[in-house]
Structure 1
C-alpha cells in the first residue's frame, strides 16, 4: 500500500518564510507523507541472549530503519509456534532521556505480562536511544520514531515465528502517540492499547499541556522543534489545515482496528484532557474502543498496574 516518498528532508523545519502547506508538497510529518513511504524493516539479528523469562526467551536484537541499526528487546514464547505463527506486539515505550535509556531497563513488568501470555513482543530502542544509531529528534514534531516502530512491525512480520496477520501495538505516554500515528499509517496493525498517551490534537497539545510538579523535564532542544514548526507554518488557529495534516487524530476514520485506552486521573505528566479528546474523536469517527479511567492513579498506573495489564492482555487475546 505504501508508495515511494518524493522527499525525506526536514529542511522546511529550518529555513524559509512561514507559508501554508501546499497539497503537492506534504510535510514529512504529515500522515499523507508517512503513508507514501515504505517501511521494509529487516531480519531481526540477535545481538545478545538474555536470561529467560518464566515461559519465554529474551534477546537483545537489532533491525534496520532508515539505514540505521536500531536495537530492541525481543521476547519469544517457549515451545513450537502455532502453524501460522505467534501473535505479536510492538511495544512502544514512553519518554526516557535517550542518554540514560537502556534496552533491558524499565517496562520489565509490562513487557513480561504480554510475553507470559503467549505473545512475541518487540520493544524498540528508538534511534538515538541507548546503543541505537541516529539522532533522537523526539516523537511529536519529527516522523523518526514512528518510522522506527513501523520498521519494527515490518521486521516482526518477516520473522517466521510470527503470524503477520496478528500484529498489535502497545504504547505508553510518548509511545501512545507513536501507536496512534502508526495505526493510521499502517492498516495492518490490528489493535492498539494506549496507556496515558499523548494522543490529543496539536492545538490541545500546544495550549493545554500543563505538566505538574515532579514531571520529567523535556530538553529545550526538543521543545524548539515545536517553535520551529509554528514559526514556519503558524499556530493551529492560524493554519489549521497544516496541523490537521500532521495529526493522527484527523485520520481516526481510517483506523482498521480497535483501541483500548487507560488513564490515571492524578497523572502529572499527561493531562486527562488528552485521553478525553481521543475518546471524543473515536466516538465521532464511529470507531470501536474501550476507555478506562483510574481515579487518583499516576502516569504509570502504579495503583492499578495488575488490573490494567490484565485488561490489556485480554484485549489483545480477543483482537489478535
Structure 2
C-alpha cells in the first residue's frame, strides 16, 4: 500500500474572476506540466494542462506554436507519451480512474484514437517503451498472473509475451537501436528494491545487475536510460550502495560498470543529454532540489557544472538537443513555471496566474529516530498559538518540499498554520531514513509527527486544543491511524483516500501494491497477523474521539472503497461523529471543481468541530 501518488492537488480553471477568494483562484489558475518532446522530432511536444477544468494531454508544435487538446475524458488523462518520430500520441485509457486499461494512440495532428496494441486485454500498466522502427514493448500487471511484458512488431503480428513473473516488474528502457530491453524486477521478493535484467526482444537474457545479492535486501537499482546513440549499449543506472541514490554506468554487453562519483549529499536522478555527451542530474536534498550537468567520457563522469535554478523545487527537467535545459520550478510562495536554462519562459499557461502564497520555514526537531525535518507556514496575520493543520504527505516513499500547493495554501488563507513533516520513510534524507519503516509501518511515522507536534505546541505556534491531522493516500492512512493511536493529540481528523482497514485493503488493492505491502510488513496478513493488526487503523477505531471526515473515490484501486466502508461502519456502530464523502473517480480527482469542492468540505468540517 505504498507508492500512492498524492491526489491531484492543484487543478486549474477557466477565466480570471477576482471576486473569488484566492484559495479558489489557485486551484482554477491554468497549469502546465513540463513538456516532453519526441526524440527524433524535438519540435513536437506533449504536456498536461488543466486549462479546461480537467487535467488532459495537449500537443504543442514548437515550430508553428499550435497547441491542441489531445484527450477529453470525464475523469481526465495524465499518462501519455509521444512516439520517437512524433507522429503519434500514446495515452493510457482506464475506466473512471481505476487505472485498469489499455494503451490508445492517435495522430499528433489530431484524428480518431484506437487501441494501440490489439490483442492485449486491459491490465494495470507496468511501463511502455516505443522503438524507432515501430516496435512496442508493453508491461502489464494483473492479479491472476502478476507481471507480463509483451513485444509487438510493426508488421502487425500479434504481440509476443517475453517475460512473466508473479512479483512486480516493469519496462525500464529500450536501447536507441531497439535491440536491448532493460527490465526492473523484484523477483527476489523485495518490492522496495529492484534489480535490473537486460534482455533481447525475444526475451533472451543478456545480463543481470542485482545489488540485493550483496547480502542485504536494502540495496535497490533503477533504470535511468540507455545512451541515446545507435550501437551504444551503456545504461545509466541509479544505485543505493552508499546510503543514498547515486549514479553508475553499466554496459550489459561487456559487463563493465563504473560508479559516477558526485559529491552531492542528497539523492539523485538523471537523464542523458541528447547527444550522449553528458548527464543532467536532479539533486533532491532536504525538501529542495537543484540541477547539475556532468560530462561523460566513456564510463567516467567529469566535473559537475551547476544549472542555475531559483531556490525551491524542480519537479522535472529535460535536456534539449541544443544543450539547453528546460525545467518545471516552484516554491511554496510562488506558483510553478516552465523555464529554460537560457532564462526564457518555455510554456505559458493561458489565463490568470495563480495568486502567490506564503513561504515555508525549515524546522528540525529531535525525534526517536533522529532529527525530523518539517516545513512550517504561518498565517499572514495574527499571533500564535494558531489553529494548526498537520498535513501529512503520501507515499510513504515521497517527501514534502518547498513547492507550490493549493491545498495547504487554502488552509493558510483560513487562518491556520500548516505543518508538513518528512517523517521516517520520506525520501531526500538517505536510504536509512527511507527504509526505516520495515515491519512497523504507521507507528514509526506517528512517532516523528508527535515529536514535531510537541515542538509546535511548546514554541507557541500551535494551539493544542485546535489541531487538525490530515492527509491523502498514505497521509490519509496515517491520519486515521493517528486518531486511534494518539487520540489525546488531535482535535479533528480529515482523511482523503485513506487506508482504513489494512487487511481488507490488501485483498482488494492492485497487485503492485500487494507486493509492496508484503515487503513493508514482512509477509501476507496470514503470515504476519500481528504486524498487520498493529499497523491497521481499524484496530484502534474504538479509541477515536476526534470527529472524522473521510473522502473516497469509489473506483480507487490503491485504497479501495470496501475497506473504508468497514471503518465507517465501526464509527457508525459507536455513534462517533463523522462524515463521509464518496465521489466517482479513482485515487483522487483530476477535475478542478471536484477538488475545490473537496477542499471546501474539508475546511468547513474542521471549522465546525474546532473549539
TM-score, scaled to structure 2: 0.38
d(CA) in 1 for partners of 2:551 and 2:382?
Answer: 33
Greater mean alpha carbon deviation, residues 183-192 or residues 51-60: 51-60
Give the match's secondary structure for 2:360: strand
Give the match's secondary structure for 2:549: strand
Using the TM superposition, give the Cα deviation of residue 79 of structure 1 relative to its aligned residue in structure 2, in angstroms: 2.5
- Tell me the residue number matched to 1:260: 549
Using the TM superposition, give the Cα deviation of residue 270 of structure 1 relative to its aligned residue in structure 2, in angstroms: 1.6
Matches within 5 A, 1:234-313: 234=527, 236=529, 244-295=533-584, 297-303=585-591, 304-313=594-603
Cα distance change on mapping 1:51 and 1:109 into 2, 3 Å: closer
Using the TM superposition, give the Cα deviation of residue 294 of structure 1 relative to its aligned residue in structure 2, in angstroms: 0.8
Taking CA–CA contacts closer than 8 Å with sequence separation of 6 or more, which of the two structures ends up with the larger relative contact order? 1
Retained in 1: the 8 A contact 2:522–2:528? Answer: no
- Tell me the residue number matched to 2:406: 109
Q: Which runs of 5+ in 1 are unaligned?
A: 1-46, 212-216
2:430 is aligned with 1:129 = no
Give the match's secondary structure for 1:160: coil
Cα distance change on mapping 1:219 and 1:127 into 2, 3 Å: farther
Matches within 5 A, 1:218-233: 223-228=518-523
Matches within 5 A, 1:1-320: 52=333, 54=356, 56-81=358-383, 85-95=385-395, 97-98=397-398, 101=399, 103-105=401-403, 108-132=405-429, 134-138=433-437, 141-142=440-441, 143-186=443-486, 187-200=488-501, 202-210=502-510, 223-228=518-523, 234=527, 236=529, 244-295=533-584, 297-303=585-591, 304-320=594-610
Q: Which has the larger radius of gyration?
A: 2
d(CA) in 1 for partners of 2:550 and 2:536?
Answer: 18
Structure whose residues are more often helix by fraction:
1
d(CA) in 2 for partners of 1:184 and 1:289?
Answer: 14
Q: Which runs of 5+ in 2 are unaligned?
A: 1-287, 289-310, 313-330, 335-355
Using the TM superposition, give the Cα deviation of residue 318 of structure 1 relative to its aligned residue in structure 2, in angstroms: 1.6
Q: Report Cα offsets for 1:16-41 as digits up to 9, x if no partner.
A: xxxxxxxxxxxxxxxxxxxxxxxxxx
d(CA) in 1 for partners of 2:606 and 2:435?
Answer: 30
d(CA) in 2 for partners of 1:102 and 1:88?
Answer: 17
Retained in 1: the 8 A contact 2:485–2:540? Answer: no
Give the match's secondary structure for 1:183: helix
- Tell me the residue number matched to 1:8: none
d(CA) in 2 for partners of 1:259 and 1:181?
Answer: 12
Give the match's secondary structure for 1:163: strand
Cα distance change on mapping 1:286 and 1:183 into 2, 3 Å: same
Retained in 1: the 8 A contact 2:554–2:586? Answer: yes
d(CA) in 2 for partners of 1:88 and 1:58?
Answer: 14
Using the TM superposition, give the Cα deviation of residue 132 of structure 1 relative to its aligned residue in structure 2, in angstroms: 3.8
Using the TM superposition, give the Cα deviation of residue 288 of structure 1 relative to its aligned residue in structure 2, in angstroms: 0.8
Cα distance change on mapping 1:235 and 1:61 into 2, 3 Å: closer
TM-score, scaled to structure 1: 0.70
Retained in 1: the 8 A contact 2:541–2:571? Answer: yes
